[in-house]
Chain A
């Protein structure tokens, strides 16, 4: 036990001696959390739009007016022909084009139906769908309005049909605040990146510098060695995590509906998995450069296949299976469930237990893979 204690002390001294690293370890997560939390959003602010109005009537002008009134669209250009459409889209000058054809008003008056064309730049996917639904709802509202006000030719008034009264409700995040969703995710990402990098690089560095041999000739056991490498980073990561939670609560006001102790329980288990994995990488690579690339690869897979940014449900089946083995996925799911939805141990107990078991497994792997003797 004393051996481990001294080694832990040595690691701490080593970390805190290197001012630049300490600076990086604490500053990078804090700054990025503060800045990037504002950026991680699919919200569509205001869409630059071009209207091609070949009709030029009061009805078509009314439509343009409704579009602008909704604040979601900014009509940047109002043209009589569609000559400039291609260029405006190509140049990213506008994201959406509404094309109102000739005889728009006439068709509505005579037939009660008239087409308009909506062209969207779908280069950025998700946005295009949202913009489309904005535009469609404005069109629907305007149709309903015209139905009441526009004098119609030849078409007999039909019986009033009562519209469908659909009440929608969004659970857990009614104000559609992206930060509630993304801040926990970013916190996890940053803790993971820092923790994994530091551990993955650690043993390889001792190996490269030759100090590993010095440790190897001491009487300490493999388990003591790995434990001594794990504990300092585990504590550091927990501190970073706590800072992140505090920022999330104080700066971004993320909800904490569930029990914080559960979050910490999960964090403790999760960090063992991540750091153990880092140590394992550190034992299998020869140079720091290699260690970094493997760590980078693992981090990429962890982050991009965890549901942090894009939902796991959208992935193909095989990727969902892979994601099941991803500790980040489970940890983020637990965090979001407890913080945002207020879930208790009965729902998140199993993933936490899974993380704990995985942690022990990874540690065992690192211990067996670590060789005290030089081949």
Chain B
């Protein structure tokens, strides 16, 4: 036990001595969560819309007024003909165009069918769909109020958004960011720290010492677990105080699972580092190999349900995916271990697997 403690002490000193790196490690995750908590959002606001109104009258002015008054839209141009619209769509200065027919008021008065055309920049299908939805809602409401509807039958839907009633982007992305930042930072930290010992040749020295390979790995990881945990605390405090992300579940459970997840990510870093001969390979694997998959296959930005079936299966091997379900479950939904035990068990399993592989990889190198 004593040599092991000495080893842990050596690693801790290593970490503490390098103030610059320590600062970076503690500060970056919080900084990232702060910046992206504000900046990563999907709500669509301030859509530049062009209205083509060949014969303005009371009804169309009313409609234009309504569109302008909505904070979703700003009217970029009103004209009497559709000329020049193509160019404006191409250079992106207009995202949507509403083409009204002539003599709207007269048509309504006669009870004629009113044909409007709504053109949306659909290059981004998601935003396109949302923009179309907003415009359609305004048009429908306007039409219902301008044209007397009488006793038309209507089923009135009352929607309720559970767990995130305002659809606040920060509530959605902050838990995701926690998972994302933790994965990359933790995996990268260990991967590089072990690969560095290899590159500078000190790993050989450690391996010939009486400390067992497993103990070397453990000793390397322990200081980083503490560091990772401090960083989780900072991130969670930021999430609560700055973004007011609700914490409906149990704090202790959240911290415990975060601790578990840090170990998972660190263990992943160990596996990478045992395979990599030098720091460059280790970090390309950790960053280039993990960054996009963690971002895209974890449900952080794109919902898992949207993935095609084979990729949903692939997402099962992404640790962040499981952690994300847990963090969102605890923070937003107030879920407890009773509902989240499966995900937690998967993380435990992954951690054990990574640890086993990591320590074996180290032992083999000696032979």
Contacts and interface: CB of A to CB of B under 8 A. Distances in A.
Contact of B292 (A47, A119, A164, A190): A190
Contacts of B339: 90-91
Contact of B147 (A36, A92, A161): A161
B311 A38 contact: yes
Interface in A153-212: 155-159, 161-174, 176-178, 180-181, 186, 189-190, 193-194, 197-198, 201, 205
Interface in B309-335: 311, 314-315, 325, 328-329, 332-333, 335
B192 A292 contact: yes
A365 B37 CA distance: 30
Contacts of A24: 281, 284-285, 288-289
A150 interface: yes
Contacts of A158: 150-152
A286 B139 contact: no
Interface stretch (A127-135, A229-237, A366-374): A127-135
Interface in B245-278: 276-278
A194 B90 contact: no
B241 interface: no
B296 A165 contact: no
Interface string B115-155: 11111111111111110110010011001000111111111
A127 B123 contact: no
B149 A161 contact: yes
A170 B132 contact: yes
Interface in A71-120: 89-92, 95, 108, 112-120
B232 interface: no
Contacts of A29: 288
B116 A123 contact: no
B322 to A, nearest CB: 12
Interface in B86-136: 89-92, 111-130, 132-133, 136
Contacts of B335: 90
Contacts of A123: 162-164, 172, 328, 332-333
A38 B125 contact: no
A176 B156 contact: no
A265 interface: no
A146 B128 contact: no
A293 B279 CA distance: 13
Interface stretch (B18-26, B52-60, B205-213, B357-365): B18-26
Given A113-B154, A126-B303, A304 B90 contact: no
Contact of A36 (B89, B163, B169, B292): B292
A305 interface: yes
Interface stretch (B1-9, B41-49, B344-352): B41-49
B288 A197 contact: yes
A78 to B, nearest CB: 18
A162 B124 CA distance: 33
A89 B184 contact: no
A169 B167 contact: no
B61 interface: no
A316 interface: yes
Given A28-B288, A124-B172, A152-B153, A286 B90 contact: no
A136 interface: yes
A266 B194 CA distance: 39
B125 A132 contact: no
A42 B118 contact: no
Given A168-B118, A290-B21, A108 B153 contact: yes
A129 B133 contact: yes
A132 B150 CA distance: 26
Nearest to B342: A91
B39 interface: yes
Contacts of A135: 157, 159
A156 B151 contact: yes
Nearest to B312: A39
A340 B121 CA distance: 11
Contacts of A215: none
B219 interface: no
A25 B283 CA distance: 12
Interface stretch (A275-283, A306-314, A354-362): A306-314
B45 A314 contact: yes
Looking at B31, B114, B127, B332, which has the most chain A CB atoms within 10 Å of its CB?
B127
Given A115-B156, A171-B121, A125 B167 contact: yes
Contacts of A289: 21, 192-193, 196, 279
A49 to B, nearest CB: 12
Interface in A1-53: 18, 20-21, 24-25, 28-29, 32, 35-36, 38-45, 47
Contact of A173 (B122, B130, B280): B122
Contact of B155 (A28, A120, A124, A139): A139
A171 B92 CA distance: 12
B308 A38 contact: yes
B306 A161 contact: no
B266 to A, nearest CB: 15
Nearest to B150: A158
B123 A133 contact: no
A127 B153 CA distance: 29
A43 B285 contact: no
Contacts of A32: 292-293
Interface string B288-300: 1101110111010
21 contacts: A45-B305, A47-B305, A63-B155, A108-B153, A116-B155, A116-B158, A120-B160, A139-B155, A158-B150, A158-B151, A162-B113, A172-B123, A178-B126, A193-B292, A201-B279, A288-B280, A289-B192, A292-B192, A297-B28, A310-B41, A319-B35
Given A115-B155, A162-B111, 13 more contacts: A38-B311, A41-B302, A43-B125, A90-B329, A108-B155, A129-B130, A135-B157, A161-B150, A166-B116, A300-B32, A311-B44, A314-B45, A323-B39
Interface of A: 18, 20-21, 24-25, 28-29, 32, 35-36, 38-45, 47, 63, 89-92, 95, 108, 112-130, 132-133, 135-136, 139, 142-143, 146-147, 150, 152, 155-159, 161-174, 176-178, 180-181, 186, 189-190, 193-194, 197-198, 201, 205, 286-290, 292-297, 299-301, 303-305, 309-311, 313-316, 319, 322-323, 333, 336-337, 340-343, 347
What are the 10 tightest A-B residue pairs by CB atom distance, in nearest-first order?
A158-B150, A170-B122, A122-B161, A319-B39, A176-B125, A147-B153, A42-B126, A347-B91, A162-B113, A122-B164
